[in-house]
Chain A
Amino acid sequence: EAGVAQSPRYKIIEKRQSVAFWCNPISGHATLYWYQQILGQGPKLLIQFQNNGVVDDSQLPKDRFSAERLKGVDSTLKIQPAKLEDSAVYLCASSWGKGPYNEQFFGPGTRLTVL
């Protein structure tokens, strides 16, 4: 079974630039998550999709971050404009259902460096 795919794996940009990350979840998984992990901390949930609808985006900085999951499969996370504090690993995960008892499968992440 193929895992969660993410690209790019690494990205370096200057502050105020824009960046986008892509995620392809495990086939058949209805729920997709984006997490931000700052060095030394646990992952923080940014947004959760159930199919193509948003379930939870309470931690998403909506003034600069946006995410979409068109057709309920792939998803993109965008930052515009980036700030220095956005330097982090951005993790995508997917699961069959939306409750926490559904095991989440994580991708390898995208490491973003904002200079």
Chain B
Amino acid sequence: DAKTTQPTSMDCAEGRAANLPCNHSTISGNEYVYWYRQIHSQGPQYIIHGLKNNETNEMASLIITEDRKSSTLILPHATLRDTAVYYCIVREDKIIFGKGTRLHILP
């Protein structure tokens, strides 16, 4: 079962930063936080993952709180192509997808 809680949907204006929250209050010490996204009619796409430290790559930044009970995925300059369902996943052994957050980028 999914061990994360995410808002069902969010809106963000094009060009602004999109901040997607995820609660994972029961996370254990060996579990990573993973983010995938799924654009309409496509398979999911890996974005980023982290354990304790904040992480950044060419797609996004991942901010993990010090107690590791929540995290935020940041898309620094959202574009219309970032409209998708974003999945936050916390597991040690395998990827289990919840319902995710449907992000709408508004022109």
Contacts and interface: CB of A to CB of B under 8 A. Distances in A.
Interface of A: 4, 40-45, 48, 56, 91, 93, 99-101, 103-109
Q: How large is the interface on B (under 10, 10 to 19, 20 to 34, 35 or more residues)?
A: 20 to 34
A64 B36 CA distance: 30
25 contacts: A4-B43, A40-B99, A41-B99, A42-B87, A42-B97, A42-B99, A42-B100, A43-B44, A45-B94, A48-B94, A56-B94, A91-B44, A100-B32, A100-B92, A100-B95, A101-B49, A104-B36, A104-B44, A104-B46, A104-B95, A106-B43, A106-B45, A108-B43, A109-B42, A109-B43
Contacts of A91: 43-44
Nearest to B51: A101
Query: Secondary structure of the B side of the interface?
Result: loop
Contact of A43 (B32, B49, B92, B97): B97
Given A91-B43, A106-B44, A100 B100 contact: no
Contacts of A106: 42-45
Contacts, number: 49
Interface of B: 2, 32, 34, 36, 41-46, 49, 85, 87, 89, 91-100
The 3 A-B pairs at the shortest CB distance, nearest first, are namely A106-B43, A42-B97, A103-B46
Contacts of A48: 94
A109 B40 CA distance: 12
